[in-house]
Amino acid sequence: MSGSSPRLSSLGGTAGALARYRVMAITVGVGLATVCFVGIPLQLVGHNNWPWTAVVEIVGTLHGFLYIVYLVSCLDLAARARFKAVQLLGMVCSGLVPLLAFYMEHRVTLRVKAQLALGADAPPGPAATVWGALLAKPGRRRPSPPQSEIGLMGTGAPTSHTA
């Protein structure tokens, strides 16, 4: 699992990244739902005048800030759990489409937990994180994982690939 690379175990490993992602996903999901389903109707009712736009301006700005934090947590988790680009795109979109965040959080959690449950059969650690590359010593290269370490991700069972 995360033992193959020392970079991986930092900050609680994949499980820690999952916990941070979940907190941020729920926060961003609640924030966006509040803006879309409370703030914007109030703004429309009040014809864009001050007391009516309070929710949009306060929660919206806060959501803008937290969305950056959310994106960073997504990138961290995606690198550690080796998500595909499409899956990362889904996580990014769930901060923009209301209520999608809750669904994505559920799916991602199931997936990463299944992957963690594989233990030694899980795919090897993240190929690269930006902070890992910045912190790594120049001479030390991470060896490429042997093919036998590759397992099925998310289905809970390792497979042997017949060539």
Partner 1 sequence: MRNRWLSRRAFVLHFLLVTVVPGCLVAGWWQVNRALSGNLLSYFYSIEWPIFALLGVVAWWQLIHDERHGTDFEKPQKVRRSLLHRDDEVPPQPLVWDKALESPELMAYNEYLRTLASGRARKTWRNPRGLPFAGTAGAAGIGARAAQSVTDP
Nearer to partner 1, 88 or 100 (CB): 88
126-161 burial code (b ≥16 CB/10 A, e <16)? beebeebeeeeeeeeebeeeeeeebbbbbeeebeee
Nearer to partner 1, 23 or 152 (CB): 152
What is the crossing angle of helices 50-81 and 85-93, to 10°?
Answer: 160
163 interacts with partner 1 by CB under 8 A:
yes
106 interacts with partner 1 by CB under 8 A:
no
Stretch that binds partner 1, among 2-10, 20-28, 35-43, 71-79 (CB under 8 A): 71-79
Stretch that binds partner 1, among 1-9, 31-39, 100-108, 128-136 (CB under 8 A): 128-136
150 interacts with partner 1 by CB under 8 A:
yes
Among candidate residues 64, 43, 63, the one with its CA nearest the CA of residue 53: 43
71 interacts with partner 1 by CB under 8 A:
yes
CB of 122 to partner 1, least distance (A): 9
- In angstroms, the first-to-last Cα distance of the chain is 24
Q: Which of 44, 127, 148, 156 binds partner 1 (CB under 8 A)?
A: 127
Helix (H) or strand (E) holding 52: helix 50-81
